[in-house]
Structure 1
């Protein structure tokens, strides 16, 4: 059989299956070991043409930096951990993408783990990341309790969504989101409004619901208030509330809950928004694609992800700096799931 192998002289000179060394890169490129190191690591003083030559030689030899050796020398692995509670919720892949992109821009890789809403899995995830020597952690806790503080120890950590003491915290103004949802429905003429809040264990879910309920009670009529997990699968108490048909509008604590509510409303032979209006929270990618397109509260996910990584980078550089709590504004996105009453 004919083969199109390159001439022997064009092949890399390191043995097959063996990692090329920086010393071999320097020798093949005809430069000093220091210049080879500067070019590979993007540091030091080396001309641009020389740097390009060295990098080309390194690529031809299949050279890859030895991260384990680098970690032993510097005490850093160049990796951070990202702990999320539920990757089946479209909100979290969007958040993960923002974290990974920002981390990459800062020269870090990301180890991602999904705890599936389990505090026990959360603890195992933290132990695994710490054992792998990550330089820092971005953590979206399952609940409002610090289940992993002793495991994390002195590893720099930034918390998303939950206001846990002792950590840098990145949040959105969830209460403002609840107020905006309620005010939007009331201004559209709705008087009888039901609220489906997220899990009571999450302070962000409580803040959304409590703020919405306060506005409804002041300016309209709260027909019912029930709870549901952050999922489209509805609890019996939620379906019973919807089937009572006492509310012309519903505020849901998350877009997934809102989509589940709209699905159940349709199964009852009713229409959204003609019979029941629905407002969600998060503005996940599905919200705009759903029929009808979901009116919801937009969370600045990309900005929150970037702030989490940038805060972590600062914390890794200076563990003694004061703790930060960053609060992002939210906005109402009006679409087709809310009907204005005459």
Structure 2
């Protein structure tokens, strides 16, 4: 006769450990989201612990675990939006890498990461909008001092302290992109999202600032008139690009603020029958994952193998946080030519 599982309310971690024939510490490591640690034992040991937990109906108390260990069994990615192919590709990479270590992946699709992380425990947290929110660096320091989260700060303004810093700024890439297109066109424009919810809006963003500086260095302008602002979002950018490409002020050379805007512009150009790069030459500031491209690879300035490299940094921080000093990792930007820019003659 098959033995009935013990009611969930009475099952403890000690029950699971006894059933699996392992120590309480090993069972804790396996079931608390730290299964990737050496302390969790071999693959067969972890399998026995999980099987025992399933048979007994054990449900771990994540809140209690977080209070006790400072770990929540997951990774938080504060990406601000899910509309960008860059964000989707990074999430996919981190998810796949994290699952190997029994870690879940949570995405914040807004910029309220400070408020969320103050009341949450995570094994690691990637913060990506530090430079664009008020008091961003101070908020990172307060989080590092008040929580147990392994923070990876994606910022050009900070140095590592008790957290890792990934420094990756597109400022120089934007200037090079302007020079590249300006050598072939009398007028180069920036396709940018409407960032009215951010302090200063689109014109105050560092990417826009780098573009405006490049325009003025070439004696072009008025600089602000070369910034074409459209509603934020892939679909909204596509609709706005259709109007732009069919209007009296059709562009010939465009720098796209992000990858999702470049994809939307490529779709719009195909829809209205423009040939790229002969009728319209454009490139993206930021990596454009191949899976998001419909009509050939888009030219872009970005970081080589950025998703694998960034995921590795986050996973390392999640797994090993004990007495680990903060590291500074610099990502250099380079040009990746595609079918949307002309080849040098």
In structure 1, the partner of 2:307 is: 301
Whether 1:228 aligns to 2:229 is: yes
Measured after TM superposition, the shift of residue 141 of structure 1 is: 1.5
- Alpha-carbon contact 1:137-1:158 (below 8 Å) kept: yes
User: 1:141-200: CA deviations, max 9, x gaps?
Assistant: 2725325818736335332255357774323341343255345546xx614241305433
- Alpha-carbon contact 2:83-2:260 (below 8 Å) kept: no
In structure 2, the partner of 1:118 is: none
Residues 47 and 281 (structure 1 numbering): CA distance in 2 closer, same or farther, change over 3 Å? Answer: closer
Measured after TM superposition, the shift of residue 330 of structure 1 is: 2.6
Residues 37 and 28 (structure 1 numbering): CA distance in 2 closer, same or farther, change over 3 Å? Answer: same
Distance 2:284 2:43 in 1: 53
1:274 to 264, 273, 278: 278
In structure 2, the partner of 1:291 is: 295
In structure 2, the partner of 1:195 is: 189
Distance 1:293 1:45 in 2: 44
Whether 1:78 aligns to 2:73 is: yes
Measured after TM superposition, the shift of residue 303 of structure 1 is: 1.7
User: 5+ residue gaps in structure 2?
Assistant: 31-37, 193-201
Distance 1:212 1:251 in 2: 12
In structure 1, the partner of 2:29 is: 41
Q: Bigger radius of gyration, 1 or 2?
A: 1
User: 1:230-262: CA deviations, max 9, x gaps?
Assistant: 5454579x93997435x6422222233334444
Structural mapping, 1:1-342, within 5 Å: 9-15=1-7, 17-18=8-9, 20-28=11-19, 31=21, 35=23, 37-39=25-27, 41=29, 56-105=51-100, 108-115=103-110, 122-123=111-112, 125-141=113-129, 143-146=132-135, 149=139, 152=143, 154-155=146-147, 156=149, 157-161=151-155, 163-164=157-158, 168-182=164-178, 184-185=180-181, 190-196=184-190, 198=192, 199-207=202-210, 209=211, 213=215, 217=218, 225-228=226-229, 231-232=233-234, 233=236, 239=244, 243-245=248-250, 248-262=252-266, 270-285=274-289, 289-299=293-303, 300-311=306-317, 316-318=321-323, 321=325, 324-339=327-342
Distance 2:44 2:245 in 1: 72
Partner SS for 1:228: strand
- Alpha-carbon contact 2:75-2:106 (below 8 Å) kept: yes
Residues 308 and 62 (structure 1 numbering): CA distance in 2 closer, same or farther, change over 3 Å? Answer: same
User: 1:54-104: CA deviations, max 9, x gaps?
Assistant: 554444323344433433433433334322211122221222233334444
Measured after TM superposition, the shift of residue 273 of structure 1 is: 2.2
User: 5+ residue gaps in structure 1?
Assistant: 1-8, 116-121
Residues matched between the structures, number: 313
Task: With the length of structure 1 as denominator, give the TM-score of the two structures.
Answer: 0.69
User: 1:96-118: CA deviations, max 9, x gaps?
Assistant: 23333444455543332211xxx
- Alpha-carbon contact 1:190-1:248 (below 8 Å) kept: no
Name the Cα RMSD after superposition.
4.4
Distance 2:289 2:120 in 1: 33
Partner SS for 1:200: helix
Measured after TM superposition, the shift of residue 337 of structure 1 is: 1.6
Partner SS for 1:38: helix
